[in-house]
A and B are shown apart, each in its own frame.
Chain A
Amino acid sequence: MDKKITVALAGNPNTGKTTIFNALTGARQHVGNWPGVTVEKREGNREHKGAAIHVVDLPGVYSLTAYSLDELIARRFILEEKPDLVANIIDASNLERNLYLTTQLLEMGIPVVLVLNMMDMARSRGLQIDPEKLSTLLGVPVVPCIASRGEGIDAVMDTIVSVAAEHKPGVSLNYGREVEHAISTIEELLQNRPLPHKATPRWTAIKLLEDDEDMIEGHDEIAQDAAISEARMKSLAHLSNVYGDEAETVIADARYGFISGLMKDAVRKPATQRVSMSDRIDRVVLNRWLGIPIFLAVLYGLFQLAFTVSIPFMDWIDAGFGWLAERAIGVEGWFGALLRDGIIGGLGSVLVFVPVIFLLYIALSILEDCGYMARAAFVMDRLMHKIGLHGRSFVPMMLGFGCNVPAIMATRTIENPKDRLVTILVNPLMSCGARLPVYALLAGAFFTAHQGLVVFSMYAIGIVLAILLAWIFRKRLVRGESGHFVMELPPYRMPTIKGVALHTWERGRSFLVRAGTIIFSIVIVIWALDYSGALEPIGRVIAPIFAPTGFGQWQSAVTLVFGILAKEVVVGTFGTLLGTGEAGIGAALGSQLGWTPLIAYAFMVMTLIYVPCMATIAVTRRETGSWKWTFFMIGYTLVLGWILATLIFQIGRLFGG
C-alpha cells in the first residue's frame, strides 16, 4: 500500500452521508467519541486503486459557525487534522441550501469533492443539474450519485484518489471590494504567526470580521492583539458605514449571491408549485425588484384618484362660497370686509379643500386596512437599511402623509432610541394633508396641464429629502447601530366601509375641528391685522430675506409666518390679503404679486419644507423630550427650505423659467 489518504465526509443532516459512509467503508468501521465530548465519531477504512483510504464521518451540519457543538467539531477537525480532502455530500434535490456549507468549506482552502447525492430525488422534482458546469464554477470535481442504490460510489472513490494526488483547493469566494480589502488588511497582520486551530490567515481574518464567537472569545492572543483588534474595529465600522449592515451579514450575502449565481448557471428548475392567494399577492408585492415600483405606482395612483374624484365636490363648495360672496357684496363697513375677505376669502379657500383631504385620508385608510401599508414597510426595509434605518421607521413616514402629529406619536413603536429620533426629525418632510391645499391651489393656477404631476413631485421631493437627511443624520449626528427589523404583517383583508369610514373620520375630524377653531381664529386675526394696516410693515421687514427665492413680496412673507401656526392658513392668508376667494387667488398672485410658475413652484417647495406647524413642533418636543432637537428640527427645515427655494428660482431663471 503506497498511498494513505484521509477523507472527511461533510454535509447537512439527511443528505445520505451515513449511507455513503457505509458504502465506502463496508464492515471496517470504528465508532468512538470526538475528543472531550459525547458526540459520536465514526471512522472506517478502505482500499481503492492501490491507496489506503481513511474515512472520517463529520457530524451533519448546515454551516461552520461557532454556534453549535457539531459545527465546531466539524470545522476544528478540518483545520487541525488537515485531511487530504473533504467529500462534501450534497442533497441534489435541495441544492441551494446545501451549497452554503460548500462555500464555507471552500473558504477553508481545503481540497473538496462535491458528491451530488439523491440525484433520483432531484430528477423526480424536475431539477436539471449540470455537474460539469457546477464543477467549473466551483473549481472542484463534482460526482453525481444515488447512494441508496449504490450508484456512483465507485466514481466517488476514483475521484477521491485523484483529488488527493493533485491536492488542489477550489475557487476562492470573492466578497466584494470593501470586504476583500478588510480581509487582506487583517490577513497581513496575521502572517507568520501561529493561528488558532492552524487555520489559514484568510480564514481567520474572515472569522474575525464575522464576529465569530470562538475566534473572538476563545483566542485572546489574536482578538486582544492591539494592532489586530484596531484593524478589525476599523474595518467593522467602515463596512457597516458602507453597507448599512454588519460585516457578518455582508459576508453571508456574498455567499448567498455566489450560490444564486451557481443556481442560475448550472440548474434548471421547474415552474414553482401552487400557493395560496395571499402568498401569491405577497410574492408579487414583496418581490425584490417589483416591490418598490409597485409601491410608487400605488402612491401615485392614489393621489391622482384623490384629485380627480374630488374635483366636482370642490366645485360645489366653491359655488356655495361664490353664492355667499354675492350676498355679501351689499354689506357695508368693516363687517362686510370681514365677511368678504376674512370669512369667504380666508376660511372659504381652506374649506374648499376638504374633499381632496378626505379622499386622501380615505385612500390612506384603505391602504392601512387592507394590509398593504405593512407590506410597503417590508418592501422599504432594504432601502431603509442602506440609510441606516429599517422598515419599522417607514410606517410613521407614511402616516406623515396624513398628519405629522400622529405620525410622530407612531414612532413609539421603534424601540431603538436613535432610530426613533431620526425618524421624528425627518417626519415633517413627509407632506401632510394640510399642505395639500397650497399645492392644489398653486398647481391648479400655474400648471393647469400637469397639475397631478406637480403635486406628486412635492411628495416625491419630500420622500427623497427625508431619506437623504435620515442618512446624513444617522451618519453625522446620532450614530450607533440600528436595530433589527421585525414586524407583524397583518393578513390581507377586504377593507370594510365601516372601518375605512371610521379611520377617515378619525383623521379628517381633526382637520375640520382645526378649520373651525384654530384656522378660523387665525384667519380672523390676520384679517383684523390687515384691516388695521399692521401686517404690511411686519411683512416688509421679513420680505427681503425671501428676495432670492422669488417670493420676496410682503404678502408672501406674512403668509409664511402665519403658516407656521397651521399650514392650511397659507391659502387662507393669501385669500384675505389679496381680497379674493379660492378661485381668484391664482390670478391675483400673478397680477398683484407678479408670480410666475417658477415662483409658484419655489413657494410650494418652501411650504413643503420650512418650519413644521406648531402642533408638530409641540409633539416633537414632547416625544423627544428635548428642546435641543426640537430647535434643531425648526432650524434645519427653515434653512433647507430657503436654500432649495432659492436654488429652484435662481437656476430656473437661468433657463428662462
Chain B
Amino acid sequence: MSTNEKTIEIEVLRYRPEQDAAPFPQTYVVPYSDDMSVLQGLQYIKDQLDGTLSFRWSCRQAICGSCGVMIDGIPKLSCKSFLRDYAGKGRVRVEALANFPIERDLVIVMDSFVEKLESIKPYIIPKEPRPLSAGEYLQTPAQLDAYAQYSSCINCLLCYAACPQVGLSPDFVGPAALALLFRYNSDSRDGGAAQRMPVVGAESGAFHCTAVGYCSEVCPKGVDPASAVNQAKGASVREYFMGFLGKGGGK
C-alpha cells in the first residue's frame, strides 16, 4: 500500500454464530479509489484482510438483488453504493439488512420471504386453457404499463429492511411480495386474482401497512411497492363490499 493512497474505515457488524453470543462491530481500513463500490470494499476485506467475512453478492450491477445491506443505517445495494460518497466522514458502517435474522455477518436468513413470495403465486395463471397453437398473448402499451413497473422487482429486500411493520410483525407479507401480487393481478393475461386476494385481506396481509412509505423511497428499481400495497388494500375493500352485494367473484 503506497502512502498516498486514500483509505476509508469500513465498520462491519460481524456475527459468527459458532463463537459470538451477539453481533459486534469490527473496523477495517480499506484503500479505495473513486470508482470503488461498497461491495468492492467488502471484497477487498475478504481477499486481503480477513477471509472470514461473509456477505452475498453476484452480479455487481444492481440486477441480481443479492447484495443488499444497511449502509450507515439505510438499506442499499452495496454494488450500487460508492465508497467516495462516505469519504467525507472517513468511515462507513455496514450491517446486515434490518428486519431479518442474521445468519452470519452480512448474510440474512431470507426463508420467510421466499415463503411469502410463494404464497402470492408469482406467475401468470391463465384465464382459460390456451393451446400453444393460439400463439403469443398480445398486449397494448396501456396493458403493459398497468404492471410493468411492478415487474422490475429484483427481490433485493431493501423494502423489507425499510419497513418497520415487517420488523414488528414478521408475518406481514410485506412490500415486494404484495407488489408482485399486484403485478400479476394487474396483468391482462392473468386470471388468478381470486386466488391471490385472500393473501391481501388476511391477518398478515396488506392492512398491516400503515403507509410509512419508506419502502418506495429505498427501492433501487423504482417499483414503488407502497403504491401497490395501498392499491391492493383498495381492491380488497371493494371485493369485500361486492361480496355483500352478491357480486364477489374472488372468494
Chain B binds chain A:
no
